Structure 1
């Protein structure tokens, strides 16, 4: 009997034994390509060029008078434009856990306020929980996958976010190294809440970059253009010196003084981290 004729019989036998064929989880699109109705916006108080608040009153939730967050047409596709003029973020309405998130971004030309003479800056904030504006009046507690010219993939703990990362000290900062000592990066320690990525994979300004973020359990992996930037263990949050897990939350994308474009934002559930990421 030919193999093609045997195949349905073999599959039937496997099913009868209680085994099923594994399917690749489907992608869920987080940007509908039309508008930002699936996201909330939050904007901080306006700041002067030195970074001091002008009024101390936040622009607030889903109030965007300057059109910091818009959807524009570029070429044949609609993309998200973040002007950077005010500090804040767009955030998903839902929380996510155990996922692979992918998006593309590229830099625009404009810079504002205290960032006029600095690198263009944005950021992907994940496991976002708690109140809006908890960090610098702008962002929820979260873990940051840094998106910043020349520094894409760095880690910042935001408003009490913390993680253990294998790292070595290089100059004033610590840099991720798989063979390094596991160090707790947290705001209330001498080491602080910042760890540099292992290497650089960002494309020239104006070109699209692909960001992949993997989160499973209390571990997360930052990947830029297919290259692992760092692996974070024991994602957690700190309250009055006490630790608790930080494994799920909303996703925020920052406005932080620079014009930036995003597209292709999608997410899929995972049941483990790909082994190739942890080598």
Structure 2
């Protein structure tokens, strides 16, 4: 179980004069601060997949980076099975598997070496790492490129390797920032199948996406954020019911109507 309550995060605007006209009109711009996330709350229980939706710039990535401990919130709480992520980030980090928007793989290392390195950082033994890599290679279809240097990987190869690296330590919660962006149909389906496997194992998964078909296929819960605030957070069925079953219209209606 992961619970997020009233998260907020602002950033200093170094030079307001260089902002675009669209950025200047954003209601989150207040003086020399841009309040990327102002009030975001949702929860995801064991065995659930939550889809985090919102327009570009809504605050999704900032929210996920706070969940992963990469950013410290200015306000709000995050707990995983009762562990306070904000107050004990080092402990919480061991419980989290996080895939950011960029893979960040070490190009001169092979896929296997990248995954193994993160296993070592999490205190896994060599035997544990080998066993886990073999398992992940099967479910993510890594065998054909696992021992090649990552600098020569395609986008799909990089993304699947990065996902394996994120979950090598069997985290209690998995957080994925647009995991299928840039992937071909087959690679994307491999990633979606892997998320389904995590769900079946009882691991809560939170992932951001712009693809509503992925939401329909996987999600038990949906959270929509806009301008840094939660506008909707409920079950997938409640989301779908917002517009007679049309997910696109449901999303647009939530954005247009504002908060819950």
TM-score normalized with structure 1 length: 0.29
More strand by share: 1
Q: Rg bigger for which structure?
A: 1
TM-score normalized with structure 2 length: 0.30
